[in-house]
A and B are shown apart, each in its own frame.
Chain A
């Protein structure tokens, strides 16, 4: 319980409370079909490897038809699966525009790992609205701790562009409180068997693309 506000799970007074916030909340955002759910499964499996409780919430159903999607993962969580905006410890975005859309979920000082890909929604073409450029979007992320990596290039070099989601996880892995070995075991459990070496390499190369 927090010594200041007396809450069991205080997120306001991590330094002043008796106990630091214990859980670690991760937002993974992207576009339906990009593999956000697989990435969140890797984290869930890695939690199982370490015997830690975990909750996750994800987008299913029609929203996935090329729409904006989010997966929320809460490590060491015994409560519900939803992350409160302004409290996520890290945000992993598969697309620049989605990074901007969900950035308010991050806590102050929280880290963003962003794929430098920009898929423009079809609505920008059909509505005749001027589409934002990559520079516009990077400008909108100013003031955040942002790492932008070319996950597709890393994954392609590792053997398949489809491993971009795993490369992004690798890039985020320095911050995530799970051991490298557990995360790699998570990858092995979740990806198709014959693609394990490619995905392991994509994970490690993604990890190397970011300074710890």
Chain B
């Protein structure tokens, strides 16, 4: 909230009502002057950030993505105590920067969401061969149930694929403690270590015991060693062998370190990993053994010893059957219940109730633990929606009006919500709007293809697609929705913002110059609140051929209001309103419709677009009260 330490300047003068982001409202100063750290009620991501400071992290990079963003966001508030911190332009860039710092002996952290690991997968897969000198931790936040994601991929698979250790905490305290130890493990084995919390760790809270902050930092120094850092075939073959030779020792250490534990209580057992272990502990009966898996790779000898003590075993883990696969490999006659035989799902997020159901199905418990419930039906849904005054809405409106028969590939950001306005036909991954548009155009489809992409996403991986589309002769329109910030994940700066993550001014990139240098001759910049000009520019673009770029530029309304922008609200003159519903169809949350008349509520930010849409001229700016 406004006035909180560290955030006061940002929120000065802005009504709390408009501060939408929870991660913004919960910033707390983490520094504790006293020697004895008390318990704090902290967001999982803040506890993880604190652990990095306890470990003395020297270099921080990342690309924002829910549920990972608040880690770097929190570290930004203490950027002066970290030698280098940045929001990078994408995950591959972030990963490589941090990797190089770790090669130079620094402790480095790189954060991203699960799908970001796809972008960073290229360096990840070979960084386990080269190894590291300084502790290097990849924080990959998974999102079972895809609360804010395009898929439910399981980063544990990536860790196994790259042959690096993976810490998979079952709660916030474990995430904090595991994060700190991840840096030590990384240095001990000379390998990157993945820490993989899930949404219910990152975005849950708990009472957490914190440790002392580190006071010393390292300065990077590169020591030339081509056999390690130049992965030509002759070098990489022995590096791969070395990596494989490290594996048995890693497995043993993870047991010694107490990441994977068990308690024998009967002949039946539950083996649970990650947050599912916390859910399981809540519902498992007292005479059923429990093993908790919080780190990978799993030591087979340890697992075999546990499994052999039991006759029936239920394996509980969200998403991929990683533990289940390991259990099946060591099982010898035991009955194993899990995903592979339908006791638990491969998709979605688990809960105590879901696990109780599996326990009952497997015959581990007799009674239903929880009451059956019926949610209310046919309620009006309340999905997230573009803000009142959001620049994306008018851009989509104009695009649909001019390109009536158009195809609209889009991308990842707040503007994916343009789906509700019928302005988003495809979304697959970061940067894929331009490439999907050129693919559709070049495969013989004759309708106009108009794609939308945000400024941050364009700089992430969109620009490569633009270069390709121009070079290979596509005929399409690219609309860059330029709100000057990475809005959806909580307003992180990008090279287009003119500020670094640490708040230092830097030269804002010129989208116009960048597009022109890719070979685009039609580059027009327009204020999306100027509906007349916006429509005209769209029409002009429609008449041209080749790749045409329209840059719709207006700051994110949340940021603008935080920075003190005030515009008078609009109102509907009831006597002039004909009830034609055109303003309602615009879909702004500030416009309501009651008793055959439109009206405008408190959410109005004064963008004026609806006044241009109203054919009766019934919408006008309020007179100052």
Interface size on A, residues (CB 8 A): 75
Shortest Cβ gap from A162 to chain B (Å): 5
Q: Which of A40, A60, A194 is packed against the most chain B CB atoms within 10 Å? A: A60
Shortest Cβ gap from A99 to chain B (Å): 10
Q: A7-B369, A80-B278 given as contacts; is B204 within 8 A of A67 (CB)?
A: no
Q: A57-B203, A80-B171 given as contacts; is B589 within 8 A of A67 (CB)?
A: no
How many residue pairs, one in A and one in B, have C-beta atoms under 8 Å apart? 228
Instruction: Collect the chain B residues with CB atoms within 8 Å of residue A65's CB.
Output: 20, 384-387, 414, 417
Interface residues of B in 283-307 (CB under 8 A from A): 283-287
Residue B593 interfacial (CB < 8 Å): yes
Q: Are A38 and B1 in contact, with the CB atoms below 8 A?
A: yes
Q: B285, B365, B366, B379: which contacts A97 (Cβ < 8 A)?
A: B379
Closest to A100 in B: B376
Q: Are B352 and A80 in contact, with the CB atoms below 8 A?
A: yes
Interface residues on B, range: 35 or more
A196 to B70: give the CA distance in the assembly, Å.
27
Binary per-residue interface labels of chain B (23-62) against chain A in the complex, 1 for a CB within 8 Å, 0 otherwise: 1011000000000000111000000000000000000000
Binary per-residue interface labels of chain A (49-71) against chain B in the complex, 1 for a CB within 8 Å, 0 otherwise: 00011111111111111111000
Instruction: Collect the chain A residues with CB atoms within 8 Å of residue B367's CB.
Output: 5, 12
Interface majority SS on B: helix, strand, loop or mixed? loop
Shortest Cβ gap from B32 to chain A (Å): 14
Q: A47-B41, A140-B376, A192-B2 given as contacts; is B204 within 8 A of A60 (CB)?
A: no
A66 to B388: give the CA distance in the assembly, Å.
10
Residue A211 interfacial (CB < 8 Å): no
Binary per-residue interface labels of chain B (363-406) against chain A in the complex, 1 for a CB within 8 Å, 0 otherwise: 00111111111111001111111110000000000000000000
Q: B18, B206, B373: which contacts A33 (Cβ < 8 A)?
A: B18
Residue A149 interfacial (CB < 8 Å): no
Binary per-residue interface labels of chain A (9-42) against chain B in the complex, 1 for a CB within 8 Å, 0 otherwise: 1111000000000000000000111110110110
Q: A8, A57, A107, A124: which contacts B204 (Cβ < 8 A)?
A: A57
Shortest Cβ gap from B224 to chain A (Å): 43
Closest to B16 in A: A162
Q: Are B384 and A67 in contact, with the CB atoms below 8 A?
A: yes
A103 to B379: give the CA distance in the assembly, Å.
12
Q: Are A81 and B206 in contact, with the CB atoms below 8 A?
A: yes
Closest to A66 in B: B385
Q: Are A1 and B286 in contact, with the CB atoms below 8 A?
A: yes
A65 to B66: give the CA distance in the assembly, Å.
14
Query: Which of A115-123, A168-176, A177-185, A201-209 is the interface stretch?
Result: A115-123
A179 to B587: give the CA distance in the assembly, Å.
45
Instruction: Collect the chain B residues with CB atoms within 8 Å of residue A8's CB.
Output: 281-282, 284-286
Q: Are B585 and A126 in contact, with the CB atoms below 8 A?
A: yes
Instruction: Collect the chain B residues with CB atoms within 8 Å of residue A78's CB.
Output: 281
Question: 8 pairs across A/B with beta carbons < 8 Å?
Answer: A8-B281, A48-B207, A60-B148, A65-B387, A78-B281, A80-B200, A104-B376, A162-B15
List A residues at the B interface (Cβ < 8 Å): 1, 5-12, 31-35, 37-38, 40-41, 44-45, 47-48, 52-68, 78-82, 84-87, 97-98, 100-101, 103-105, 107-108, 120-126, 129, 131-132, 140, 162, 190-195
Which 7 interchain pairs have the tightest Cβ spacing? A192-B3, A61-B66, A67-B384, A44-B41, A80-B278, A65-B384, A56-B205
